[in-house]
Amino acid sequence: MTNKERLEKLLELTIEDLIAKVETGEATSADLSVAVKLLKDNCVDVSMSSEDASVTKLADFTKGRFTPKVKNG
């Protein structure tokens, strides 16, 4: 097995593990941070104009729950 194949397998297993944790509700905030970083590092993004129902659901869920922290000065 080449190094490239090992890295691809590691990425695949990591993604499968993260998906399983999210689906079962076992994902910790650290797991979610890893998932977000993995997506960002691989140039995966979602437009808010997406027709994907999960994006809309997340946007609706977070609306009004979080306020941006702005430092004065």
Burial (CB < 10 A; 0-12, 13-18, 19+), residue 38, is middle
Whole-model pTM: value is: 0.63
Model confidence pLDDT, tens digit, residues 23-43: 999 999 999 999 988 888 887
Q: Does 72 or 25 have the greater pLDDT score?
A: 25
Q: How far apart are CA 35 and CA 40, in angstroms?
A: 9
